[in-house]
Structure 1
Amino acid sequence: MKVSVDIELLSTLQATLEAARLEIKKAKDREQGNEPLSIEEAAKYLKVSRTTLHTYVKSNQIVPSEFGNRVWITRSELDRFIERHRRKVYA
């Protein structure tokens, strides 16, 4: 039995599967807090200016990730920062 495969269809299916794999990985990263955020996105997440965020990074209160000339901050790093700076309310 010989099966003929349409090359264009095969290529489309491969591209669709790869896109789905990437979306699943992004969803898992978001779930685990490993989603990389740009400096702008991180500042918005903390509701501070970029200047303030840079101050936190320079004082090692927030540790960014770097690869080449790309810099990002994970959501879990920002959540840890928020938790460390949460005010304690005394009753």
Structure 2
Amino acid sequence: MDYSNITFNDLPRVVAELRDEVVGMRQMLSRLQEENVQCKENTHRPMSVEEAAEYLKIPLRTLYMKLGNGTIPATKPGKRYVLYQDELDKWLECSRRNPVPLSDEEQNAAVLASNRRKPNNRTW
């Protein structure tokens, strides 16, 4: 239909077409969101140092050096390091030269974490 010459009598039909398109888009979005939720897996799983070196594709000695420096996020509950896949992914993204933009929630958390000041004596 040529939308440049819409008359007042054509409005109900045009509005009905638009409504059908919006309903179709809503259904498509909900279907895509359901598929996206189903595809997500739990990436917060503990890994050994050997698994982490294989995952990061770096030599084991380099990984131990970075763990000793504290550049790679890990915990050491006993004698061995425990690394988590999601923390390694975040570390990889943060150490990029061109970092991926943060989500709105992450940006808000970063701003709130950076603005911790002592209160001014005049405002007490």
Give the TM-score normalised by the residue count of structure 2.
Answer: 0.42
Residue 87 of structure 1 and its aligned partner are, at CA, apart by: 2.6
Q: Does 1:69 align with 2:90?
A: no
Spell out, residue by residue over 1:28-51, the C-alpha distance to the aligned partner (whole angstroms, 9 max, x if none). Answer: xx9342200100000011100011
Aligned length: 60
Alpha-carbon separation, structure 2, partners of 1:46 and 1:76 = 12
Q: Does 1:38 align with 2:48?
A: yes
Q: Does 1:83 align with 2:93?
A: yes
Q: Secondary structure at the match of 1:71?
A: coil
Residue 65 of structure 2 aligns with which residue? Answer: 55
Q: Higher strand share goes to which structure?
A: 1
Q: Secondary structure at the match of 1:78?
A: helix
Q: Which has the higher contact order (CA 8 A, sep 6+)?
A: 1
Gaps of 5+ in 2: 1-39, 100-124
Residue 73 of structure 1 and its aligned partner are, at CA, apart by: 0.4
Which of the two has higher C-alpha Rg? 2
Q: Which amino acid aligns with 1:66?
A: K
CA RMSD of aligned residues (A): 2.2
- Percent identity over the alignment? 35
Residue 5 of structure 1 aligns with which residue? Answer: none
Alpha-carbon separation, structure 1, partners of 2:67 and 2:88 = 11
Give the TM-score normalised by the residue count of structure 1.
Answer: 0.55
Alpha-carbon separation, structure 1, partners of 2:90 and 2:80 = 22
Query: Do 2:73 and 2:91's aligned partners in 1 also have CA atoms closer than 8 Å?
Result: no
Gaps of 5+ in 1: 1-29
Query: Do 2:48 and 2:81's aligned partners in 1 also have CA atoms closer than 8 Å?
Result: yes
